[in-house]
Every structure is written in structure tokens, then in C-alpha cells.
Structure 1
């Protein structure tokens, strides 16, 4: 079945990820994040809901962004934003950085058959070794660095707490080597699927499907009625479509110089 557009739009709008160590500049109109040092992108405008004229609000945000002393800020145009916002960021020198499709899947019929290869082993990252593997794969694919050891330990502690509610990250292993990972957050009946990544030399061997399958099944076990993914068009997109996900629009980010 198809999930109604307004349901997907509301769930997408409510999804704003804030890392535990991020510094927030937040008002009712925007959410600007200074990401932890080990993230590949230092500054992100995660949410923009202007009440005042959009030019005024954007310039205010850029003023706050300059206070962090970084060369650029990554500004997102979300599914619910007015399309004119693309022009606003481009007028300030913004260069398109990433385009994501917003995918949703009705989970009422159950999980799709993804044909997961039996050669892959799946482990949820609730111990130090698996968490390290999880973050190593993600860092390699997304261009981040590894966090310090004390942050790894903190991640494990948070993961153990999240596991009680069913949320967490799962890692795929091939011949004992971590090759893929992906995260799951359960919020108000929505299985938010994030951070899906597979090492380049292990692609086309079923790792993404295995990670996707594990997260969908855990979401169903915990009562999720819809899965939501913001996926890269050329990598995860084709797999998600084959799994039955439908596209509801796109989100784009612009690197705006400071």
C-alpha cells in the first residue's frame, strides 16, 4: 500500500538528527549545528522554518555560522520547504552538495523479501568491538574521522540504552570483516533508517540489503507502521525501490561559503 503524502511529509519534517556532542543554535525558525570535530561536515543548517522574510532569517543564520570560524555551512532544503529556498542559498554562493530522495514504505503487509545472502553475519552494535566496526565503515563511506576512545565508550553506553526501545545500529560482516552498517531510530511508529553504508570493495554482494532487512524486521517487531529513508539517488536508491519503497520528493543541501 502507498503511504499518504501528508503522513510522509509530517514524519520527514519531524526528523532532525542532532549528534550528542553537537553545539546547537536553535530558535523556532532554524536549527544550526556545529558538529563534533570528527564529522566530515563541520556546520549544518538542519532545519529552516522562517516566519519572518526568508532573506532576513537566512542572513541571521549565516551570521551565527560565521561565529564558529569555519569556511562554509551545509544548508538543507527539506521536503516541506518552499522551493524558492534553493535560489536563496545559491544567491549567497551556495553550491549543490547532495541530493537525497525521501523514501517511505508501508509496513502493514510486513517486511519485503530482500533475498539476503546467507554468507553475511549481522550484529547490533551494543559492544565496543562492533561499535568500532560500525563507525569505521561509516567513516570510510561518508568521509568522517574516527571519534576518540572515550566517545566510542559513550556511544556503546548510548547504544545499550537505545536497544531497550529497539533503536540502534547494525553491522554486516563478510568472512569476519565489517563491510556495511546502518542505523534505526523508532519514533511514533516510524522506523527512521539512517546511515546506510557499504564499503566500496564489498558492494553488490548483498550487504545493504542485509542491513536494510535487519532494521525493517526490528522496526516491525517494535510496532513500526512505516519506514522512512532519506537515500542517496545513485547508491541506496535503486535497492530501496526494488524493496518496494516509494519516492515522495527530494531534499538538497548547499555548501554556502562564510
Structure 2
């Protein structure tokens, strides 16, 4: 029996999730034939995503200026641009850098899809479960803060927003947080979004002291079981090439696109 094929809707979701994930309460989405902008309630740079970029080569500068104006008018000071393999023009990352954007450190990310049961994972002591209380959402926020090295301002915002995130999750049927526990201590977390095509895993982070021990991989079998239970047997995620991409590849994920991320600080780049 051959390998399951990855349908085009899954490929599109994997490369440009902001264009296809269900909008959450309080989230604004600006959709244009040239781009999609997702604005979450939080104010840190990762709360503003610019994706599905299809720009005319002669209009890159003007379109960037247009997007910067839209974000400045909404009181945003920074955004994250995700340039996938299908983005146009093909040299868009270089053009965005010339306009003042700064590439994220590291070798980039891979958009990856799993459409068959994950390869067996060595037994571990990890316990994976969905966050069910406001306290668990606060715990997940603390894990994310340490995992991603938030600065004090962003950390304070993440902690302040934890309870409202929990309340929004209760009002939405789309998104939940998963926590990985070891000996009753939370060591990793990830956001699970339910879509008609499969589960999207985003915002995954592991505490530095717990990395390279399989905590992230422990999320995958649990997520797969939930995807099958919902009748959408597929997992979609982004993976850093220097950390999680090799782990996911061993579990059976396939790469469908390359993602390059650039940060646009509007106070500096907008005038470039």
C-alpha cells in the first residue's frame, strides 16, 4: 500500500496558516489578494503575522508601506513576516531585508505535514494533556516565556493575558493548549488548532533544561489520536531546522514548504 498523499488544502494550510486557521475571539484578520495579516490581542511582535504573500515585483515597496500604515494605525509597533516557498516575487526575503526587516536567527523553518500514524516513539515518563483550567494556562504561559526567552515586557503581557486566553478558549471550539508534564512538573507546551483538514500545532516550546529528551515528540502521538478521533487524520506544524525538524522527520512528517521569517520593527524599518 502506498504512502498517503498530502492534499493541496493541507499544503496551503502548512505554508500559510494565518490565511486558513479559524479566527479566534478578539482576533482581527485582514485578507487581501496580495497578503493576509493576522492580529491577535497581545502586543508582542509574534501577535502580528503577515503571510500568504503574493506581491507584484514592481509593487513590493508600496505594498510594504501600505501594510506598515495599516499596522501603525492599529497601534502596533512590530510584526513577523513569514515568507513561504510560494511567495512572490521569488526574491522577496532579500527585498524585505532591503526595506529594513531583520531575518530571525537560525537556518529557517520547514512547514511539515503528517498524514499517517507517527512512527513508534520510545516509552517515556511524559504525560500529555490539554489544559483545562486558568491555572494551567498560566503555567503554560510561564513555560513559553522561558522556552522562547521573552523580554520582561513581553513576559508580563503573556502572564497578564493567560486568564483571558483561557476564557477565549472556552468560548471557542477551535483552539486548545496542550501541556507536557514530567513528574508533575510542566516542561513543554503547544497550541492545538482544529481545522477541517487536520490539527495545526503551533507555538510549541520546551524548557531549555528539558530539551533533547523527547518532550516535544511526546506531543505528536497524543495529537494524532485526537486528529483521528475528530475524523481529520493529519497534523500540520512548523519546525526549526536545527531543533524539531529532524525529530518530526523521524516520526514521519514530510516537508511541504520552506519558511523564512523576518521581523519588522515599525519604529525603525518603516522609514527605511
TM-score interval w.r.t. the shorter chain?
0.7 to 0.9
Query: Going by fraction, where is strand more abundant, 1 or 2?
Result: 1
Q: 1:50: Cα distance to partner?
A: 3.8
Task: Give the TM-score of the pair, scaled to structure 1.
Answer: 0.82
Indicate whether 1:248 and 2:256 are aligned.
yes
Indicate whether 1:186 and 2:194 are aligned.
yes
Indicate whether 1:45 and 2:50 are aligned.
yes
Instruction: Return the match for 1:15 from 14, 17, 41.
Output: 17
In 1, the alpha carbon distance for the partners of 2:224 and 2:42 equals 31
Q: Which residue of 2 aligns with 1:100?
A: 109
Q: Which residue of 1 aligns with 2:208?
A: 200
In 1, the alpha carbon distance for the partners of 2:47 and 2:113 equals 29
In 2, the alpha carbon distance for the partners of 1:148 and 1:73 equals 17
Task: Give the TM-score of the pair, scaled to structure 2.
Answer: 0.79
| Number of aligned residues | 253
CA contact (8 A) 2:16 2:51 kept: no
Q: 1:116 to 1:46 in 2, by over 3 A?
A: farther
Instruction: Return the match for 1:80 from 83, 86, 98.
Output: 86
- Where does the alignment leave 5 or more consecutive residues of structure 2 unmatched? none
SS at structure 1 position matched to 2:205: strand
The superposition leaves residues 37-86 of structure 1 with CA deviations (integer Å, 9 ceiling, x where unpaired) of: 45354643234344795323223213333445666432221232122222
Q: 1:188: Cα distance to partner?
A: 1.3
Instruction: Return the match for 2:119 from 112, 115, 124.
Output: 112
In 1, the alpha carbon distance for the partners of 2:210 and 2:190 equals 15
CA RMSD, aligned part only?
2.9
Q: 1:176: Cα distance to partner?
A: 1.6
Q: 5 Å matches for 1:152-163?
A: 152-162=162-172
Q: 1:95 to 1:148 in 2, by over 3 A?
A: closer
Q: 1:201: Cα distance to partner?
A: 0.3
